[in-house]
Chain A
């Protein structure tokens, strides 16, 4: 009987490893690289969390916390969701905006059960564009892992591409320094509507070549992109 119990325990733990990766804590050395030529990332939130938590899911509506991050770069809502889920969270590792073609490096130690890694940040200039990875399973095996990351649209605000607000529900783009001197002004607005209200792959900034007028305040030769826009490098110790 005792032997049988032991066998069952061994079988269960083998299954657990196969299905849900490491159960014990790991040291993770993480680098987020902004691969773009002309986009800034707002303060990053990164976390190791359990399987019931996720920052976003494509094809699903954005949560209010994701919306606040994607429209204005405010990560406080996502941080509190993660904290409530006992996640291991790192806030703002770059100490502000992550400039084009630069990296930020930080350490994260995950507790047992927090076997998924996520991160996100808003893309500037944009209305509700963001970069992120949601629920990436942390490998059990030590090594260096690379994930190329796409730009998403939260689907919560029309991409009018003109100066405005980063507050949820208010139109226009937030324009913190140094962006205020890099983009145009007096744009009439690219669009008034957003037809896909689920999180989806961003169609890209349109922009125009008129810094003092035109439809968009975005410079079409500087602040456009193609995926991938970021690289996540994770060294599992």
Chain B
């Protein structure tokens, strides 16, 4: 019984195939067999807008990455080297090249205080379920702000969510505020250094002290001080 059915089906399929081939040949000798129709891959796209809320802390190029479930930093955990490079020097090259990163978007240059900027990040990868946004406050030793492991499934198309983000300390460089240690315009010093001379864990930042507030070896002034939040982040899913 089953063999009979099989033969019948096979015969039908062969007939259909022959008919299709014949049709193709009649119209165009060069026409190749069309590939089987595949479902159009679903595209996911997000607009990420950042406002720099600080008084005089330019933000290193705004960075956004899509990835599977997993925090890229956490309070009490040691910073990855990729995060250390970003938090100490504003360099996101390693951060966007991490193995876990599926898609990334990076601004061309720093975002000055009082200004805002929008990045677009797009993917068709179903595994890109979470988003991380990060940036360094460049007139510091190793302060950064951002949001990590935001689950995107809660965001419908055209939905918008907004956050006010606090400042973290990467814990990889002592907050000396000393000349030569701060990469931003307040100093023009060294960014990343592989030496870890701090607590080696991420925490909330306690703010900068500055020379005006009594740290005489600081290159920072009262103008560089900050309080939370430092970033207004708005994410809109567009596709």
Contacts and interface: CB of A to CB of B under 8 A. Distances in A.
Interface of A: 58-59, 150-151, 153, 155, 159, 190-191, 195-198, 200-204, 206, 215, 220, 225-227
B44 interface: no
Contact of A195 (B51, B113, B230): B113
Contacts, number: 75
Interface in B131-148: none
Interface of B: 51-56, 113-116, 164, 212-213, 221-230, 232
Given A59-B114, A196-B113, A215-B212, A203 B53 contact: no
Binding site secondary structure of chain A: loop
B55 A200 contact: yes
B229 A201 contact: yes
Contacts of A200: 52-55, 113-114
A8 B164 CA distance: 38
Contact of B223 (A155, A191, A197, A220): A191
B225 to A, nearest CB: 4
Contact of A155 (B52, B114, B222, B225): B114
A190 B56 CA distance: 15
Contacts of A195: 55-56, 113, 223
B206 to A, nearest CB: 10
A59 B51 contact: yes
B114 A226 contact: no
B195 to A, nearest CB: 30
A203 B224 CA distance: 8
A201 B212 contact: no
B81 to A, nearest CB: 30
A61 to B, nearest CB: 9
A196 B113 CA distance: 6
A198 B232 CA distance: 14
30 contacts: A59-B51, A59-B114, A59-B116, A190-B212, A190-B222, A195-B55, A195-B56, A195-B113, A196-B56, A198-B113, A198-B114, A200-B53, A200-B54, A200-B55, A201-B54, A201-B226, A202-B55, A202-B227, A203-B54, A203-B222, A203-B224, A203-B225, A203-B226, A206-B212, A206-B213, A206-B222, A206-B225, A220-B213, A227-B227, A227-B228
B38 to A, nearest CB: 35
A206 B227 CA distance: 12
Nearest to A155: B114
Contacts of A198: 113-115
Nearest to A199: B114
A226 B207 CA distance: 10
Contacts of A220: 213
A201 B230 contact: yes
Contacts of B113: 195-196, 198, 200
A128 to B, nearest CB: 12
Q: Can you list the 7 inter-chain pairs with the closest CB atoms, starting with the nearest?
A: A198-B114, A59-B51, A196-B113, A201-B53, A203-B225, A196-B114, A203-B55
Given A59-B232, A196-B113, A204 B51 contact: no
Given A190-B222, A191-B222, A195-B113, A226 B53 contact: no
Nearest to B224: A203
B124 to A, nearest CB: 29
Given A196-B113, A200-B113, A58 B227 contact: no
Contacts of A225: 227
B9 to A, nearest CB: 46
Nearest to A59: B51
A147 to B, nearest CB: 11
A202 B116 CA distance: 17
* Most chain A CB atoms below 10 A, which of B52, B213, B222, B225: B222
A157 to B, nearest CB: 13
B55 A58 contact: no
Nearest to B116: A59
Contacts of A155: 114
A37 B164 CA distance: 24
Nearest to B208: A203
Given A195-B113, A200-B114, A58 B53 contact: yes
A203 B227 contact: yes
